[in-house]
Chain A
């Protein structure tokens, strides 16, 4: 064994140093920085008379009776979106619409957040002004449909002040393909005002969304 070691000593040294180097790299990656988990919420019904309130940090729907609390972060009713802060709730929430691809947004912007005000929500419920496009009577798409605009994300501060990114994927039950005959025909189109969205929260208060 000794002779073996002796004989191959330089090579072992090289291997050893390589192992150390590699482990150092590993250490770099596994800093205590954020690993955020991406969650998808399917078919959140926002068609009722009350807003559908959602707790992003707890990944659970909140009853509307708790609307005056900091339990919830985001709420939906029809095309309207509320953020828990300002006129909408007691939280410190604020939001803005950011352009990009969900997975590529690695950091929440430092500034630019707007707090909901009476009649002026941070996320404007109007076609082409925030997250959706209303097709109206356009000839080549499903008419009178609400379609999320590609690359429009909501970046928000939760009720507790943590950063989150949200992408609304569908306004229709079952997140349907919007180009099928079934969707195009108003008589067979799935129920509207039913949200599917994906999101990620950074619980440690930093603006980073690495995963």
Chain B
């Protein structure tokens, strides 16, 4: 290589033809990426002259015989945006310059990490990954993760015990949410509330639909959302943002990114407060209660050498909220005031070592705690209505070894140990879960057009049956503009704490609920106390509960047509889900009430097609369309329907009839049709950008009205709706940007989706300093 460079330099010096008599200077410099890493083989060219060079392995270059005066240096590198730097060249002097190049926002060059647990170009991964960049997030004007995900094709935000995410017709319980590859913990009835996650520290969000338990274990059944946070940047960068919006919502956030030599530092801080809103003014309490929350995210990285790197990142989040509830206490309406707090923190030290053979070893420990406290009191006499807490600890230690060999192969081996502890009202003592796991993956790319990844993971758990989760994916580039891909894989979700450990007797109603681990001894105890009237299911048989699991198939194609102006992705999927856990009465008590426990019973099939088309008729204009067709059905209900065993009652006449199989609308809260349309426009002349996004959610089932507990008549659906969001940003000064927008422009409301608060207007300022 050096030889080539010197030949080129020799060539340059020979052909240089001085235009007229004048002085010459020398330019020496370095080309790096935004993180300060050298870019080997970058091209450097002096505008208007036949003077140029290629950077060395270390990113260094020297241009000699540069005419004095103001000169423009053009720098380019594959995968990076071109850059022009002006410099005043002085005769007889050698000047130094450092030129940083930004990575090109070219989708095919996009690096992703979630699909294979290692950084790879998106086109080299045989699994479809949706990437949402920081730039896109900023252009949407989003503040919290739920707003970002709500606008993506095939992702449906559902508000039920928090704002969760439905993927491929599977509810939020089955979606794994990661930050830098490790899970966010703390779910309420299975839902991980996405409003806990600020977006200001996000570099990009990667979304994989379909199971990925072969790499990530439990919960990665419907899909994985991985938030990649920002890194330090050389030498310095800082962004501050303040935004005010409807419902007295104020968001302030700031970050600092520093990098000096081998030391990197990043700090993100965010505060969000709101008065909330009320969609049911007639009732006590607000639909969304007032809250104040804080997020802190510091990170430090240090390179001991080019081979050994260490990182430590931490996160802390706290949120206080207050609300009122009405309860009727022996026919007297009383009001309860609730003060609640939830917090989480995490700490993740990582050590990375790259061997001479380019094999990479990563050692990591991740600790996270999630805690909630709620205090509910009657407003009239301040007596306690309910006090409850939930305290969860998660610790995972793991290693991962990536070994590339023979050019076309990369093998990955990982193993680890997870310890979870939970203490809560309604649970006995302190409970521990231990999981030991091992996973392996092999990537093989024979030729440049075919790419195959096979992997599997084994999880051994102390509280439920062990799981083996395989996955096989392949992608083939049929033509330069057409690629097809297919995958088959297993997913699973571990039984959650309440399904295993709940020990609860309702003091007022008198029923009892036992987690599967406690069912046997719970029923035995009640029997000794003479409280059991009849046993319906032998509790000894339900001790060993199985994880809910699935087998899924995905097939898709990617078309890049009209010289990359049109980009179309099509994906068809099917998830066969088994052993879904439900509550069933296992015994009746002498007080007439039941004893419930958790049992593996139902089977569900979800299948659908997803299409995403992006069209860029101009370099500064993007139009995109997304659509999902979804069919999600309970297999048992389907069989009953086919056997004529499902009935409905006409509420007006009382007549009972058979339900026809064709009338079955599938699972509640799923939209058969959903989609979006988006326009993004950039104006470089006046330095502003605009975006308009329309989001459609087709009609969805809300609950039974005709006495058969399934979705089968029109009155059981909520109407579909379209919401429109518009955002604009204008650069006022080099460092100052004004942003403003309206979410839900036409103030659409739907009583079945409480997150539709009506029209939300916002305006804010973004101050940016340092390098980009």
Residues of A whose CB lies within 8 Å of any CB of B are: 80, 99-102, 117-121, 124-126, 128-129, 133, 138-141, 147-151, 167, 169-170, 175, 177-179
Other A-B pairs beyond A121-B592, A133-B704, 19, CB < 8 Å? A101-B658, A117-B534, A118-B590, A119-B533, A120-B590, A125-B592, A126-B593, A133-B707, A138-B704, A140-B702, A140-B715, A140-B716, A149-B708, A150-B706, A151-B656, A175-B654, A177-B652, A179-B705, A179-B715
- CB-CB contacts of B578-615 with A at 8 A, as 1s and 0s? 00000001001111111000000000000000000000
CA–CA, A199 to B65, complex, Å? 107
- CB-CB contacts of B717-760 with A at 8 A, as 1s and 0s? 01000000000000000000000000000000001100000000
CB pair B534–A139 under 8 Å, yes or no, is: no
CA–CA, A120 to B591, complex, Å? 8
CB pair A101–B705 under 8 Å, yes or no, is: no
Chain A residues with Cβ below 8 Å from B651 are 177-179
B664 interface hit (Cβ, 8 Å) = no
CB pair B594–A124 under 8 Å, yes or no, is: yes
17 residue pairs A–B, Cβ–Cβ below 8 Å? A99-B645, A102-B656, A119-B588, A119-B589, A120-B533, A120-B534, A120-B588, A124-B585, A128-B709, A139-B702, A140-B702, A150-B647, A150-B707, A151-B708, A170-B654, A179-B705, A179-B715
CB pair A119–B591 under 8 Å, yes or no, is: yes
CA–CA, A99 to B647, complex, Å? 9
Known contacts A129-B594, A150-B656; A101 and B534 CB within 8 A of each other? no
Residue ID in chain A nearest B593 by CB atoms: A126
Which residue, B534, B593, B752, has most C-beta atoms of chain A within 10 A? B534
CB pair B703–A117 under 8 Å, yes or no, is: no
CA–CA, A139 to B283, complex, Å? 14
Known contacts A101-B657, A175-B654; A147 and B707 CB within 8 A of each other? yes
- CB-CB contacts of B669-703 with A at 8 A, as 1s and 0s? 00000000000000000000000000000000011
CA–CA, A167 to B704, complex, Å? 20
CA–CA, A206 to B715, complex, Å? 42
B457 interface hit (Cβ, 8 Å) = no
CA–CA, A167 to B326, complex, Å? 37
B123 CB to nearest A CB, Å: 46
A106 CB to nearest B CB, Å: 14
Selected contact of A126 from candidates B594, B648, B715, B716, CB within 8 Å: B594
B94 interface hit (Cβ, 8 Å) = no
CB pair A101–B707 under 8 Å, yes or no, is: no
Chain B contact-residue range equals 20 to 34
CB pair B647–A101 under 8 Å, yes or no, is: yes
Top 7 A-B residue pairs of the complex, sorted by shortest distance between their CB atoms: A151-B647, A119-B590, A120-B533, A150-B707, A150-B649, A150-B647, A119-B533
Which residue, A99, A117, A150, A178, has most C-beta atoms of chain B within 10 A? A150
B401 interface hit (Cβ, 8 Å) = no
Chain B residues with Cβ below 8 Å from A99 are 645, 647
Chain B residues with Cβ below 8 Å from A141 are 703-705
Chain B residues with Cβ below 8 Å from A125 are 592
CB pair A148–B649 under 8 Å, yes or no, is: yes
B727 CB to nearest A CB, Å: 32
Chain B residues with Cβ below 8 Å from A133 are 704, 707, 709
Chain A residues with Cβ below 8 Å from B593 are 126
CA–CA, A179 to B646, complex, Å? 21
Residue ID in chain B nearest A125 by CB atoms: B592
A18 CB to nearest B CB, Å: 37
Which residue, B589, B645, B704, B751, has most C-beta atoms of chain A within 10 A? B704
B664 CB to nearest A CB, Å: 14
CB pair A129–B585 under 8 Å, yes or no, is: yes
CA–CA, A100 to B658, complex, Å? 9
Chain A residues with Cβ below 8 Å from B592 are 80, 119-121, 124-126
Chain B residues with Cβ below 8 Å from A120 are 533-534, 588, 590, 592
Considering only residues 18-33 of chain B, those with a C-beta below 8 Å from chain A are: none
CA–CA, A172 to B709, complex, Å? 20
Chain B residues with Cβ below 8 Å from A177 are 651-652
A113 CB to nearest B CB, Å: 14
Residue ID in chain B nearest A126 by CB atoms: B594
B274 CB to nearest A CB, Å: 24
- CB-CB contacts of B634-655 with A at 8 A, as 1s and 0s? 0000000000011111011010
CA–CA, A133 to B706, complex, Å? 10
Chain A residues with Cβ below 8 Å from B704 are 133, 138, 141
CA–CA, A117 to B355, complex, Å? 74
A99 CB to nearest B CB, Å: 6
Known contacts A99-B647, A117-B534, A140-B702; A179 and B588 CB within 8 A of each other? no
Chain B residues with Cβ below 8 Å from A151 are 645-648, 656, 707-708
